[in-house]
Homo-oligomer: A and B are copies of this chain.
Amino acid sequence: MDLRRLRYFVAVAEARSVGKAAERLRMAQPPLSVQIRKLEAEVGAPLFRRGTRGMDLTEAGQALLVRASEALALAADGIEAARAVASGKRGRLSVGYMFVLANAILPRLIPELRRSVPGVDLEFAELSASTREARVLDRSVTVALCMPAINHPEIQVARIGAQRFMLAMPASSPLARLSSVPMARLHGRPLIALPHPDHGPASSAVVPLLRRHQVVMPIASRVETVHSAMSLVLAGEGFAILPACAQLGAPRGIVFRPLRDATDSLDIAVCWRRDSQSPLIETFIKCAEKAVARM
């Protein structure tokens, strides 16, 4: 059965006349008459009573009419919905984020997103450093807010900001009395190390920084997450070198101080599959940039 036939049928039923319906459909009357008869042949029963003053639905025709109208509307709505999704007016956007960024960015990002794409279903999911790449690749998140960016040939990256490294330590530490800490003062102190996601679990994100200043910090502990690092710092296990935004989620008793002679930073980036042609990604990046700008 053909949707055109149903469309014709509905038109004739509503106009109660083949001629009128043909006019509305911008076609000649005879082919429309033929199509109606073909539909009747397909159903196996007359759908109209032919009178001298037009056509009138039979009960079988009435039964068909309600469903055919709905089917037409659904099909049209389907096309429309697909267009809306393709254009970014509707759809779903699953946003992955790393926990360090949550407090700094989400409170500004989420309202901005809801305002920009009101028809889109938003979904947020925390990403761990170890799985973030896989979550982007298997599309379980559409975009990921990462620090640093994911490095993978299938994944595209937009840098939207950066966070300077700062020294995190217990408030009781003598270094906490300085307004900024010279790199040299770190020499020999124990380090709570976070791995660099690109270099495996035994790496540390601050190796280049320390090496450049010829500072050696023995690694006291290796942790996976920023909150773990801060917990250990609070427990007096050592010092951590963390991106500035981490202090928004820091517990009481931890102080952050800038590193006086180091301008190193970690990029904040939006990452997504290169073949995700969703138009929402562009919009998301704009929103994220705004949120970062007001951080």
Q: Among B46, B76, B92, B278, point to the contact of A1 (Cβ < 8 A).
A: B76
A-B residue pairs in contact (CB < 8 Å), sample of 25: A1-B76, A2-B3, A2-B4, A3-B3, A3-B4, A3-B75, A6-B75, A6-B78, A44-B83, A45-B83, A45-B85, A46-B277, A49-B275, A58-B277, A59-B91, A60-B86, A60-B91, A63-B78, A63-B85, A64-B82, A67-B77, A67-B78, A68-B74, A70-B74, A71-B78
Number of copies: 2
Whether B3 and A1, one on each chain, are in contact in the complex, defined by CB atoms closer than 8 angstroms, is yes
A81 at the interface (CB under 8 A from B): yes
By a CB distance below 8 angstroms, the chain B residues around A86 are 43-46, 58, 60
CB of A178 closer than 8 Å to a CB of B: no
A277 to B77, CA, bound (A): 36
Determine whether the beta carbon of A71 is less than 8 Å from that of B74.
yes
Question: Is A47 in the interface zone, CB < 8 Å from B?
Answer: yes
Complex alpha-carbon distance, A84 and B66, angstroms: 15
A68 to B78, Cβ gap below 8 A?
yes
Question: Considering the chains assembled together, what is the distance between the CA atoms of A91 and B57 in angstroms?
Answer: 14
**Nearest B residue (CB) for A92:** B59
0/1 interface trace, chain A 62-106, chain B, CB 8 Å (1 if under): 111011101110111111011111110011100000000000000
Q: Which of A3-21 contact B (CB under 8 A)?
A: 3-4, 6
